[in-house]
Structure 1
Amino acid sequence: MVAPDVKAETMKLMDRRGALEAEMDAIIARLTAPGGPGITGGLVDAEGFPRSDIDIPNVLAQRRRLAELRNDHQDVTNKIDKNLEILHSSKLSRNEQTTSRGSDTSASSHIGLPQSEPMEEDPVTRLPFAMIDEITDGSPAAVDGLQLGDEIVKFGNVEAGDRLQERLMSEAISNEDSQVSLAIVRQGSAMNLTITPRRWHGRGLLGYVLLHLGINPNYLFSQQKKLHC
């Protein structure tokens, strides 16, 4: 069984990453405001003199802070990724034990041995891999009951992992006009829904945009992956 501190640490790390992203977002908004220097824009005018319309020391400080936050964000994401590997490995191990126990239970029923209760799946091991960032009115996603902020744990047979967009699109296309099971977290509560990928007047088969939650260790806040479905 996975130690409880690994689960608790993972949730704390996700909260920490969210705080880092919020601070980075605020800095980027200030630097890229109208008339601002941008994240990497020049700080001198056409004649090579320091720009007089901006506070150069402050801009440099914000850029340094942004670089520090990105490094911290990378470190936190790498730790989350490692913990997720541990949690998912533990899940697979428990599933194998449950299957083996089921076989033993079947045999025991014929020889009078006591049967044991099956192990329950720990929901903490099923962490969301993406969040619904945009949803179009009248889209299949909206009609079927999805909401902004819903966090996706499992879409059909797709869970967290590599080639996420490719697997999500394949799952949607292969199930066009058929119901697909969906495991989500909404406002902290786990829910199971069904959604039917189908043609409509808008983009994709579902009509929502997923914001990848950054399980990929190469994830950077400035390159957030938005998955159109």
Structure 2
Amino acid sequence: MGDNIHAPTVASGPTSGAERRDWSKLSMPDLMQEKERIEEELKALSAVLNSHGVSMNSTLTTFDGFPRDDIDIPQVRTTRVRIIHLRNDHKEVMQYLEKGLHAHFAQLQQAQASATTNGTTVPSVLPSSTLENGTADASTLGTPFAKVNSVEVGSPADQAGLKTGDAIRNFGTAHWLNHARLSKVAEVVQQSEGRPVLVKVSRKEEGGSQTTELDLQLTPRRNWGGRGLLGCHLVPL
């Protein structure tokens, strides 16, 4: 009986399918949809492993080297292979998303610099043609990833001007590409205690359809009279 029964029987390839995807040909919205699809499938596959009480590294043999009889070994091994492929896909998709985002900023800065020289006005976003080249447009750049569910009176969030219903576009270095279900936000908060953090929010006007974009300075701190460093509750979108 081999010692590596827990190892995948199929080599982990670069993509999740038999045919390699060319991510460079996808637009930013399409890449975002792929990212969400992959994350949903990874979540479902992780649930499969959890139902067997194993992880990606759990041994599938007993202490004396025999296959475990308390789990479906073929299913676990197949699930692990799929997870490996999907993780590779996710890494590549994220690379192209970040590349497109950086390209957008670079072109925008260049356009603004040119406008300053020529004394003309530059729109805040690039033309929709940039979407065809795999760069971001207004609908994808700074996409909201969290919503303010509640704000405590007198809290750091309240003093910064954050309001219930605000949509978070950026929280320091956390944004729609890397927030990881808000864990990145928690990391920023812990690392920024006593120091202001730039928070970009979209706020819908009461009784209207207009949306206002705001840049707020939020300083996480203790001893403000309530729980936590912010005094607000965020929920992922």
Distance 1:40 1:169, change over 3 A: closer
Query: What's the counterpart of residue 44 of structure 1?
Result: 61
Query: What's the counterpart of residue 24 of structure 1?
Result: 42
Query: What's the counterpart of residue 27 of structure 2?
Result: 9
Task: Output the CA distance in 2 between the equivalents of 1:134 and 1:20.
Answer: 26
Query: What's the counterpart of residue 53 of structure 1?
Result: 70
Paired residues for 1:32-181 under 5 Å: 32-33=50-51, 35-102=52-119, 118-122=121-125, 124=137, 127-128=141-142, 131-132=145-146, 138=152, 140-141=156-157, 144-147=162-165, 150-153=167-170, 173-175=194-196
C-alpha displacement at 1:28, in angstroms? 1.1
Task: Answer whether contact 2:192 2:220 (CA < 8 A) is retained.
Answer: no
Residue deviations 1:155-197, cap 9 Å, x none?
A: 6xx68799x9798778884449xxx6623499xx964244654
Task: Answer whether contact 2:196 2:217 (CA < 8 A) is retained.
Answer: no
Task: Answer whether contact 2:156 2:229 (CA < 8 A) is retained.
Answer: no
Distance 1:196 1:134, change over 3 A: closer
C-alpha displacement at 1:207, in angstroms? 4.3
Residue deviations 1:134-167, cap 9 Å, x none?
A: 967636548832559x342476xx68799x9798
Identity of aligned residues (%): 22
Query: What's the counterpart of residue 203 of structure 1?
Result: 228
Query: What's the counterpart of residue 216 of structure 1?
Result: none
Query: What's the counterpart of residue 131 of structure 2?
Result: none
Task: Output the CA distance in 2 between the equivalents of 1:76 and 1:132.
Answer: 21
C-alpha displacement at 1:32, in angstroms? 2.2
1:183 is matched with which residue: 184, 187, 201?
201
TM-score, with length taken from structure 2: 0.58
Aligned CA RMSD, in angstroms, stands at 4.2
AA partner of residue 192 (structure 1)? E
Gaps of 5+ in 1: 1-5, 103-115, 212-229
TM-score, with length taken from structure 1: 0.60
Gaps of 5+ in 2: 1-23, 127-136, 179-183, 205-209
Larger helix percent? 1
Task: Answer whether contact 2:189 2:220 (CA < 8 A) is retained.
Answer: no
